[in-house]
Amino acid sequence: MNKADLIVGAQWGDEGKGKIVDMMAQNYDVVCRYQGGHNAGHTIVVDGVRYALHLIPSGVLNPKAINIIGNGVVVSPQSLINEMKQFKNINKRLFVSDKAHMILDFHSQIDLAREKLRGKNAIGTTGKGIGPAYAGKIERVGYQLGKLRNIPRLVDSLMEYFRVNAIIFDALGVKPASREELTAEFEGYAKELLPYITSTTELVWKYLDEGKKILLEGAQGTLLDIDHGTYPFVTSSNTVSASACTGLGLNPKDIGKVTGIVKAYCTRVGNGPFPTEDFGEAGNILRERGHEFGTTTGRARRCGWFDAVACRFASRLNGLDQIALMKLDVLDGFKKVKICTSYERDGKHYAEFPENLDDIKPIYEEMDGWESVQGVRSYDKLPDNAKKYIKRIEEITKTKVGIISTGAERLDTIVL
């Protein structure tokens, strides 16, 4: 039975999924996104050219691959249109679910207004309208892309929604569009996007039945999952591997090999607990060497040492078959490197990832560093101390490392 392989972020997002999906997509016929929105950001470097993707699957850089945006994704139509313009001959290589919900301007206005009202308790959202769009979906007042086929009915529905919520909009300072503005906006979207909108669930089933090789691409990371992450400092969707099923219309038996992407250290964007965050020189070095600034927002990422406790939790939750260890080269030159092996709080020891991370302190195992792994493409040529570091990660996370990235280029990769 043909199965779809899956890639999922196993930290707080920004793990380097884009590079691995781009590399692996060269061997797949179809690449699918199944959750999140344009708050996601993948940076891919190919032949020295840097591409920033937010909605379109990373397989777009394989000229032979078909790319699918599933029903679990929330789509900003204008952002998608802008992103499509980067690529030539995308027609017949991109399909978007008619069940995917749209992010509209008022969603972004609500997002920004609520974040401002939270003040010092702000979650640290991107302000892209992701949360309000997913909230509308759950409240059954969302707007699917397929509705662009009947614009008058879509506009009528939105105008009624605006009327019912006028008091709330006024309180938040949200200014909804007029009927005329909405009509013109949707006509523009329909002209650009309707040729790409279809039942992607049936399409994925068809490709599976035909024996095509399919790769499923997650956005954000496990520790930002709405249910299993560091709530409320999470994203608005399920980011774990299981959400690939609901986000595309697959069943668990359709899923094949699951690869979890992690950096050789940890980063986090926005607010919320981050046990291994380093506030000193090491954190600054990781940020500068790793170019740790958000693809979507440009925000500086918080940086720290590898959290093996969190990674073991993510591995079990996602059913990881292997880890892809990214940016090992960023640790070059450190005399000592650290791995968090457990936590401590008020004298109590935590060997596993707790529900509450407040006031948690990491317990580190320190290892000797190495000079350089930059651009190494053979495991045998890695420094011994780098191999020991990789081996220790495998031992603590109980998951084998199958891929090692030693640089930004596609070929700076070791596949074991």
Continuous H helices in 225-264:
243-248
What phi and psi, each to the nearest 5 degrees, are found at residue 29? -90, -30
Q: For residue 109, count other CB atoms closer than 10 A to its CB.
A: 19
Please give the helix or strand (H or E) that residue 7 lies within, else none: strand 4-9
Q: Which of 5, 29, 38, 42 is catalytic?
A: 42
Region class of 69: left (phi > 0), else alpha (psi between -120 and 50), else beta: beta
Q: Residues 272, 17: contact at Cβ < 8 Å?
A: no
Cis peptide before 232 (omega within 30 of 0): yes
Closest listed residue to residue 8, CA positions, set 295, 324, 293: 324
DSSP E strand boundaries for 56-190: 66-69, 74-75, 94-97, 101-102
**14 an active-site residue?**
yes
Query: CA 366, CA 389: separation in Å to the nearest integer?
Result: 10
- CA gap 91, 316 in Å, rounded: 39
Contact 177, 3 (CB under 8 A): no
Tokens (6 digits) for 222: 């496990």
Neighbours of 369 (CB within 10 A): 17
**Helical pair 105-118 and 130-138, crossing angle rounded to 10 deg:** 110
Class of residue 367 by CB neighbours under 10 A (exposed 0-12, middle 13-18, buried 19+): middle
Q: Does the annotation count 42 as an active-site position?
A: yes
The length of the chain is 416
Tell me the two tokens of residue 257: 């090999």
Longest C-alpha distance within the chain, in Å?
66
CB 323 within 8 A of CB 257: no
**What letter would DSSP give residue 346?**
T
Catalytic site residues? 14, 42
